Amino acid sequence: MVVSPEISSSTAAEAQDVAWREYVREDRVHRSLYTDERVFNEEMVKVFGHTWVYLAHESQLPEPNSFVSTKLGLRPIIVTRDRRGGLHAVFNRCAHRAATVCREETGVAKSFQCPYHGWTFKNTGELVGAPWPQGYGPDFDKSEFGLGKVTRVDSYRGFIFGTLSEAAPPLADYLGEARPWLDYWIDRAPEGEVVVRSAAHRMGYRGNWKLAFDNAGDGYHPSFSHRSLLEMASRMGDSKDMSYFGKTPDDGPMKVYSLGNGHSVIDQRPNFDGPGSIWANQRPQPGREKFEELIRAKYPEDADRLLDISAGGQINLSIFPNLLIIGNQIQVIEPLSVDRTQLTWNATSIGGVPEEVNTMRMRTQEDFPAFGEPDDQANFEEVQRGLAVTEEEWVLMNRGLNVDGWQTIDENGVIVTAVTDEIHMRGYYEEWLRLMNGEPA
Amino acid sequence: MTTHEDGHYADLEQLRRENSLLQQRIRRLEREAASMQPIIAEVKRLKIWDFTPYGVRPDDSWLALDRASATELMRALAGTDHWHPWQSRIEPRPQP
């Protein structure tokens, strides 16, 4: 039976009454979640507002009064450090006539002066003053006209998140079972120090933001979507990075974990055994052999470990709604409109390693982010095109559902299953549904 | 012949002395230029805020600067560096 849950509400307030459950079934979701502008507008308020959203990394704010311009959904915001080092996030919107007060990407500033009429605000949001204040009369109360604030800002080991919801659980609880995976990724740095570097890869695609999230935990697509990469790896010999996706992945050692709160992870590490194995299975790259020779000559006792941490972490961690940890990169999903999205790949270096290791880590930007991501983005655009068929209403996410022997639950309540199980989609749509319905965590 | 060769040697010796002096001078100028770089970098970072239109008294995190001196400072700074012009990175505006 085909159900046609056309969204009839025309305002955000009316849309709240829509039974979102009609759009998110156990095994499928309705196409309008990817195509309807009203759904998108609701998401920007409820998903990118009422739960913890990744904003920036602390290494991007290295000193007192540092700032980074970013967004919370569609809201332009400025993440700042005050002069004592405390973290804040304020709306980049002048209290006077709404112009952005900061148009720089990053920098150091203890105050922001709106370029339009000169209203000036502290980096914690308070209004310092408006030019020629006598024009506002004697009752002008500056305390009423500060920049709006992202009311809750918290950092987990350098990853800064923000939410406008007072009801959201503490950040550490929201990350929940994703924390040990994030810890693993951070602790690949010997001293736990991760530094986001400049020169991010920014790529825009003509598709809905959730298409990137659908794909991030998807172990089903690589054999087909990344066929050119796999074939190249095959020409260079078997067992190069990701070529294992070309075998029968459901019988292999890789697993996907549904971590709760919309988070999931693909663990590729069981494909590798012993020190040096990750490095040995990386794809060819110009200069790679020379680099390995250098590391082995300079650090003969420690070469395998150093080579392994030059390559990616071999996990694909998706933290709902906008943070993806892939390889050595921190990838951020930035919705622009219902059918426009920007993905940013931030390269990272780490402390406590020889500089050569970080050079190679930076060069991983030349690998999957430059080489594989275009495959994915081409698919996102083609899905968005396909979704224009109004007569076909549903997008399936039923792979692995009720398949005997695939899913097990570990002692922490995490569901572990075959790597092509679409449980990552079913998991995050549950969280999406909760947020869109305004239900408590 | 001998006189001609002596003349060559004398020229060569003079060129070597000049070369040595010029190298010393270059090293001194490089040291001087290097010592000025942090000052220029800090001046580029200087936050100058004209508080007068706001009718407020700046708090104790601000220090007053003579307006004419500040204007001269900015004028001097504007001519310091043509290779790395005074600029900031503008927030990207995605338009895919």
Domain containing residue A308: CATH number = 3.90.380.10
The sheet that has A111-113: what strands, in order across it? A111-113, A120-122, A127-129
Could you report how far apart the first and last alpha carbons of chain A are, in Å?
Answer: 33
Query: Minimum mean pLDDT among A18-22, A99-103, A393-397, A419-423: which range?
Result: A18-22
Nearest to B92 among A111, A113, A202 (CB): A202
> Which residues from chain B sit within 8 angstroms of residue A69, using beta carbons?
91
Q: What sign for the dihedral angle of Cα A50, A56, A59, A65? A: negative
User: What residues contact residue A138 under an 8 Å CB cut-off, 6+ apart?
Assistant: none
pLDDT higher than 80, residue A415: yes
Q: Closest to B61 (Cβ–Cβ): which among A83, A202, A203?
A: A83
Q: Provide the residue count of chain B.
A: 96
Of A229-243, A320-334, A358-372, B54-68, where does mean pLDDT reach its minimum?
A: A229-243
The answer to whether the CB atoms of B96 and A340 lie below 8 A apart is yes
Judge whether A316 lies within some domain: yes
Residue A312: strand pairing partners? none
User: What's the mean pLDDT in A28-56?
Assistant: 97
Angle (CA) A93 A97 A99, round 5°:
40
pLDDT (mean) for A302-319: 94
Matching residue, tokens 């009423």: A144
pLDDT band of residue A314 (cuts 50, 70, 90) is: very high
Question: Mean pLDDT across the stretch A425-432?
Answer: 97
Q: Please spell the DSSP secondary structure of A415-429, one letter per residue.
A: EEEETT-THHHHHHH
Same domain? For A75 and A198 the reply is no
All residues of chain A having their beta carbon less than 8 Å from the beta carbon of residue B49 are 111, 113, 120
Percent of chain A at pLDDT exceeding 70: 93
Torsion, Cα of A185, A189, A192, A195 (10° steps):
-90
Q: Is the pLDDT of residue A60 over 50?
A: yes
Structural domain contains residue A17: no
Residues A204 and A317 in one domain: yes
ipTM over 0.85: no
Can you tell me whether residue A152 is helix, strand or coil? strand
Q: Which residues of B touch A (CB under 8 A)?
A: 45, 47, 49, 51, 53-56, 61, 88-92, 94-96
Number of domains in chain A: 2
Q: What's the rounded Cα separation, in Å, for the pair A254 and A385?
A: 32
pLDDT at A95: 98
Same domain, yes or no: A299 and A372: yes
Do A185 and A111 lie in one domain? The reply is no
**Which residue from B minimizes the CA distance to A341?**
B96
Q: Is any Cβ of chain B less than 8 angstroms from the Cβ of A352?
A: no
Best of B62, B91, B93, B95 to disrupt the A interface (most A CBs within 10 Å) is B91
Residue A47 lies in a domain: no
Q: Do B91 and A108 touch (CB under 8 A)?
A: no
Dihedral sign, Cα of residue A301, residue A302, residue A305, residue A306: negative
Cβ A236 vs Cβ A149: under 8 Å: no
Of B54, B89, B96, the CB nearest to A133: B54
Q: Does A99 touch chain B (CB under 8 A)?
A: no
* Inter-chain CB proximity A204 and B51 less than 8 Å: no
Whether A299 and A151 map to the same domain: the answer is: no
Task: Please check whether residue A412 is in contact with residue A405, taking contact to mean a CB–CB distance below 8 angstroms.
Answer: no
Whether A132 sits inside 8 A of B88 (CB atoms) is: no
Is A113 near chain B, with CB under 8 Å? yes
Of A104, A110, A342, the CB nearest to B96: A342
Confidence of residue A10 (pLDDT cuts 50, 70, 90): very low
The answer to whether the Cβ–Cβ distance between A342 and B55 falls below 8 Å is: no
Do A69 and B47 count as a contact with CB atoms less than 8 A apart? no
Banded model confidence at residue B90, pLDDT cuts 50, 70, 90 = confident
pLDDT digits 0-9 by tens, A230-246 = 777 777 665 555 656 65
Looking at the domain assignment, is residue A21 inside a domain? Answer: no
- What residues of A are in contact with residue B41 (Cβ under 8 Å)? none
- pLDDT tier, B1 (very low <50, low <70, confident <90, very high otherwise): low
Mutate to test the interface with B, among A112, A132, A143 (most CBs of B within 10 A): A132
Indicate if A188 and A282 belong to the same structural domain. Answer: yes
Among residues A163, A214, A212, A164, the alpha carbon closest in space to that of A24 is found at: A214
Query: Chain A window 33-92: which residues touch B at a Cβ cutoff of 8 Å?
Result: 69, 83
How far off is chain A from B63, nearest CA to CA, in Å? 14
Give me the count of residues in chain A: 441
Query: Which residues in chain A are contacts of B55 at CB distance < 8 A?
Result: 129, 132-134
Question: What is the structure's pLDDT at A13?
Answer: 45
- pLDDT interval class at A216 (50, 70, 90): very high
Contact B89 A342 (CB under 8 A): no
Determine the Cα angle at A264 with ends A184 and A388, to 5°: 140
How close B94 gets to chain A, by Cα (Å)?
7
Structure tokens at B76: 């001097």
Q: Does the pLDDT of residue A421 top 80, yes or no?
A: yes
Is residue A34 a part of any domain in this protein? no
How sure is the predictor about A367, in pLDDT bands with cuts at 50, 70 and 90?
confident
Q: Mark whether A283 and A311 lie in a shared domain.
A: yes
Highest mean pLDDT among A262-276, A316-330, B78-92: A316-330
Q: Nearest Cβ partner of A110 from B51, B61, B96?
A: B61
A141 and A282 housed in the same domain: no
Return mean pLDDT, chain A. 91
**Angle between the N-to-C axes of helices A209-216 and A373-386, in degrees from 0 to 180, rounded to the nearest 10:** 120
Rounded to whole angstroms, the Cα distance separating A397 from A385 reads: 19
What local confidence, expressed as pLDDT, does residue B95 receive? 66
Q: Is A132 found in the same domain as A185?
A: no
Cα–Cα distance measured from residue A209 to residue B94, given in angstroms and rounded to the nearest whole number: 14
Cα separation, B50 vs A380, whole angstroms: 50
Q: Is residue A251 pLDDT above 60, yes or no? A: yes
A201-205, strands of its sheet edge to edge: A201-205, A340-346, A329-337, A323-326, A315-319, A263-267, A255-260, A415-418, A408-409
- Do A418 and A327 fall into the same domain? yes
Within-domain flag for A87: yes
B45 → chain A, closest CA residue = A108
Please give the model's pTM, rounded to 2 decimal places.
Answer: 0.89
- CB neighbourhood size of B2 (10 A): 6
Last residue within a domain, chosen from A156, A190, A208:
A156
CB–CB of A118 and B53 under 8 A?
yes
Instruction: Give the nearest chain A residue to B44 (CA atoms).
Output: A108
Place of tokens 């080579």: A307
The pLDDT assigned to A213 comes to 96
Q: Within this chain, do residues A149 and A183 fall inside the same structural domain, yes or no?
A: no
Beta-ladder partners of A417 = A256
Structure confidence at residue A286 (pLDDT): 81
Asked whether the beta carbons of residue A120 and residue B45 sit closer than 8 angstroms, the reply is no
More confident residue, B60 or A101: A101
Q: Annotate A411-441 with b (16+ C-beta within 10 A) or e (fewer).
A: eeebbbbbbbbbbbbbbbbbbbbbbbeeeee
In a domain, residue A232? The reply is yes
Q: Containing domain of residue A85, as a range?
A: 54-156
Q: Within this chain, do residues A205 and A338 fall inside the same structural domain, yes or no?
A: yes
CB contact under 8 A, B94 and A131: no
Residue A40: name the closest of A211, A252, A257, A242 by CA: A211
Residue A18 domain flag? no
